[in-house]
Amino acid sequence: MTSPVFSAPAVRKGRAFPKEGGLTDSRDVAQQGFFETGFGKAIARNWAFFFLILMTIVFSLTSRGFFDIVNFQNIIHLSTGAFLLAAAETLVVITGGIDLSVGYVYGLSSVLGAKVMQILSGAGMPVANVVLLGCAASLLVSLIPGFINGIVITRFKVPSFIATMGMWGICNGLTLFLADGFMPVMGAPEIINKIGNGFLLYIDPGKSVSFFQKPSYIPDTGIRQLVRLFPNSLFLTLIALLAVGFLLRRTAFGRHTYAIGGSMDAAVRSGIRVQKHLVIIYTLSSFLSGLAGLFNLFQTGIGNYTPSGANYELMAVAAVVIGGASLTGGKGRILGTAVGVLVLAVLENGLQIMGVSAFYRYIGVGILLVIAVIIDRAFPDLF
Amino acid sequence: MNRDTGLSNADFKGGIRYSLGRNWVLIFIFLELLIFSLANKAFFSIETIQLILFNGTEVFLLAIAELFVIITGGIDHSVGFVMGFATVVASKSIVALSGAGLPPFASILLGSLLTVLIGLLPGFVNGWLVAYLRVPAFIATFAMLGVTHGVSELLTQGIPAKNLPSLAGDIGNGSFLYIPPSGVWSFFVRPQVERGQHVWAIIPNMVVFSFFFIALFAFILKRTRFGRHLYAIGGNMDAAIRSGINVKHDLVKTYVVSSLFASLAGITYVMKYITGKPDAGANMVLEAIAAVVIGGASMAGGSGSVGRTVLGALIIAVLETGLRIMGLQTFTTYILVGVILILAVVIEQAFPNFKR
């Protein structure tokens, strides 16, 4: 499989960063010295994490309302989709491939779920059945694009970049077909909104504590007086991330995934069933994207198609790369990816609260991404 | 049957499967035209063919932008938003220049020149990041996508540019040659005729404009040292460096060319639709990359040609216009482009033994 990524060979002269043994002047020596200490190494290895902390401190000092449990929960809540998409992308990137279809599978799942719920509740079904069937439909259907991706990539030897890009077009078309052109799909039962935006704990200070449902004596308009902790979306995110992390770290399946990304040849020779493995990886990636789309439906109550130019898939790749994965495969951690998503989410949220125009965000994300890779390149053997 | 390769004679040069495999793009375009003509009597006409080229101008230009980068083994995600950026810069500067009292034609010309100059900048930064800081092209160009998107949104403040001189629209929607019933040809200017008389308009201006640049860069790619170096870089970077090619310079130039074509696409967009908006080219990147891949380039680099890329873009352009004439909605195009993109590579794999 060919990687679309251009990576320069090490033989170049005048490289931007000195490697071991290539020290030329005192400044390099000093730099090398710092990053050889334990502390320096820790910073270089986890720069994204330290950057996240630094950013949190800066935003907390500069903008009122940033350092607030409500806002932090808000950040998590709004980036549920990003977390799941990035987790999906992590799996694929570790194998050395790339999945560009995640963003549109996300939209497809959201719209399909809403459409099914709309039709079923129009037919007068009980609400519980409507929700369950809608979820089942969109999760099952979201397996299909990934399965086809995997088959096309492994059996027909199509580069993952092309195969998933084709699937991007197909899913985009299907989504718009389901959504009747450019219309969000309405008509899903209201209960899903309550689930999607619910919290685990509702505390009325000094009066009562309740789980999952607000105390019945508080009207909908008074919900802001309550202390609400642990949004349901946090649970979903944690479960998904832990599951993927467990899969990668603790199972033979995960070790095989790293092996395939490290060297496809070696993986084949050591008896890993690479083709089957890759099909499962792409199916899993698609399933996680579908889950993200479904949760988007739960949060917003309507089926949202993915607008063109939304670039969710590129955002997911960005988070994965900031998290320390390499696009050439064999490297990447789910914790790193989570930090990558948080870096992007906190940057976005912090700038928003500071009152910076949304448009600077795009620029900020772009610059951050390049910094991530330059740091990654500068310390190649630390990760 | 050849025992060593497992291929029959039909697979080799001169064989049937060879020529089928090699020219499947042409055959596909022919089939498309046939199907659309059968489905709609009015389809097959000079107007429709010109409309296909006219609608496809941006995709043609963006595909060439993508081609140069893909030949070197990279990828450019930013072309769509560089195009959007160019539409904003062009429309804003043309409005500003004509507001400053310049005659419309001069302001359009100056504005376009300015756009091309500014439009080289994203490519330069991309190339610099890729070549000198060794950032993977995927990331560097995605970062540039964000930056150009942000900057162009800041420039427009969310409102598409307007109040362009009407001459821009006349140029953008005009044709190279007009043949009125009287038979006196006129170039660029639509002759005044009586009501109800039909004037043949031959070759839209924007098609002339874009194919001038496409031809120029086809020549550069094929006949100049720079062009040959690109294939060498994409084919084997190590070998290219060892054989003394200044890879970094050439890579920077490649991304600048890519950006240049994206800016040209932006200018044609402004001329055609008399507006500039940041997301003008947002959904054309898929089509541009698809065109390059359908044209037989490999994402690993080292292969691809302008002619075949134009044919690849033509598949998409015919499809798009044909479906629109049939009254089908845009999303059918997305699905079909996706399917054809995957099919293209599958066909490549099925006919592996011919060289591009």
Cα radius of gyration (chain A): 22
User: DSSP class of residue B192?
Assistant: P
* Contact list, B147 vs chain A (CB under 8 Å): 362-363, 366-367
- Residue B234: closest CA among chain A residues belongs to which residue? A6
Assess contact for A311 and A52: CB atoms under 8 A: no
Mind listing the pLDDT tens digit of every residue in chain B (356 residues)?
Answer: 445 555 565 555 666 766 776 778 888 899 989 988 988 888 888 888 899 999 999 999 999 999 999 999 999 999 999 999 999 999 999 999 988 888 888 999 999 999 999 999 999 999 999 999 888 888 899 899 989 999 998 998 877 777 888 888 888 888 888 887 777 777 777 777 777 777 778 889 999 999 999 999 999 999 999 999 999 999 999 999 999 999 999 999 999 999 999 999 999 999 999 888 888 888 888 889 999 999 888 888 888 899 999 999 999 999 888 888 888 777 888 888 889 988 888 887 776 554 44
CB distance from B35 to chain A under 8 Å? no
Mutate to test the interface with A, among B142, B236, B319 (most CBs of A within 10 A): B142
Q: To the nearest whole angstrom, how far is the Cα of B36 from the nearest Cα of chain A?
A: 20
Q: How many CB pairs below 8 A link A and B? A: 193
Which residues on chain A are in Cβ contact (under 8 Å) with B238? Answer: 9, 11
Q: The tokens of A286 are what? A: 């698609």
As a residue count, chain A comes to: 383
* Tokens describing residue A235: 């649970």
User: Does ipTM exceed 0.90?
Assistant: no
B335·A169 Cβ contact <8 A: yes
Class for domain B9-165+204-350, per CATH? mainly alpha
Residues of chain A neighbouring B282 (CB-CB closer than 8 A): 308-309
* Whether A351 contacts A364, CB under 8 Å: yes
Residue of A nearest to B156 (CA): A359
Bridge pairing between strands B186-187 and A208-211 = unpaired
A-facing residues of B in 142-171 (CB < 8 A) are 142-147, 149-151, 153-154
Mutate to test the interface with B, among A362, A365, A376 (most CBs of B within 10 A): A362
Secondary structure of A91-126 in HEC code, one letter for each residue: HHHHCCCCCCCHHHHHHHHHHHHHHHHHHHHHCCCC
Q: Does B341 touch chain A (CB under 8 A)?
A: yes
Cα B131 to Cα B108: distance, rounded to the nearest angstrom: 34
DSSP structure class, residue B73? T
Closest CA to A174 of B330, B240, B118: B330
Give the chain B residue nearest A308 (alpha carbons). Answer: B283
R_g (Cα) of chain B, nearest Å: 22
Distance from CA of A162 to the nearest CA of B (A): 7
Residue located via tokens 């009407």: B166
Show the tokens assigned to A107: 């939209």
- Residue (of B116, B338, B158, B58) closest to A164 by Cα position: B338
* Chain A residues closer than 8 Å to B283 by CB: 308-309
Question: How much is the pTM?
Answer: 0.85
Give the residue from A292, A286, A238, A237 showing the smallest Cα distance to A97: A286
Cβ–Cβ < 8 Å for A170, A306: no
**Dihedrals phi, psi of A7, to nearest 5 degrees:** -125, 130
Encoding tokens for residue B107? 């302001």
CATH code, residues A47-378:
1.10.3470
- The tokens for B198 are 């039909």
Q: Are A132 and A192 in contact (CB under 8 A)?
A: no
Range list of β-strands (E), chain B: 175-179, 186-187, 200-204
Per-residue pLDDT of chain A (383 residues; tens, 9 = 90+): 444 444 444 433 333 444 443 334 444 444 455 656 667 666 766 778 888 898 889 888 888 888 888 888 888 888 999 999 999 999 999 999 999 999 999 999 999 999 999 999 888 888 888 999 999 999 999 999 999 999 999 998 888 998 999 999 999 999 988 887 777 888 788 888 888 888 877 777 777 777 777 666 766 666 666 777 788 888 888 999 999 999 999 999 999 999 999 998 999 999 999 999 999 999 999 999 999 999 999 988 888 888 877 788 888 988 998 888 888 888 889 999 999 999 989 988 888 888 887 788 788 888 888 887 787 777 654 44
Q: pLDDT tens for residues B280-335?
A: 888 888 889 999 999 888 888 888 899 999 999 999 999 888 888 888 777 888 88
Q: How many angstroms separate the CA of residue A111 from the nearest CA in chain B? A: 15
Calculate the dihedral angle through the C-alpha atoms of A103, A107, A112, A117, rounding to the nearest 10 degrees. 130
- Does the distance separating the beta carbons of B143 and A365 come in below 8 Å? yes
Question: Distance from B174 to chain A by nearest Cα, in Å?
Answer: 30
Instruction: Decide if B331 and A181 are in contact by the 8 Å CB cutoff.
Output: yes
Q: What is the DSSP string of B280-338?
A: TTGGGHHHHHHHHHHTT--TTSS---HHHHHHHHHHHHHHHHHHHHTT--HHHHHHHHH
How far apart, in whole angstroms, are the C-alpha atoms of residue A75 and residue B247? 44
Q: Which positions in chain A touch B334 (Cβ < 8 Å)?
A: 169-170, 172-173, 176
Query: Would you call B334 and A176 a contact, using CB atoms and an 8 Å cutoff?
Result: yes
Does residue B179 sit in helix, strand or coil? strand
Residue B144: closest C-alpha in chain A: A366
User: Which amino acid would we find at residue A230?
Assistant: F
pLDDT for A328 equals 85
Residue closest to B88 by CA, chosen among B141, B37, B25, B151: B151
- Whether residues B341 and A162 touch (CB distance < 8 A) is answered with yes
For chain A, helix, strand, coil in percent to 5 are: 65, 5, 30
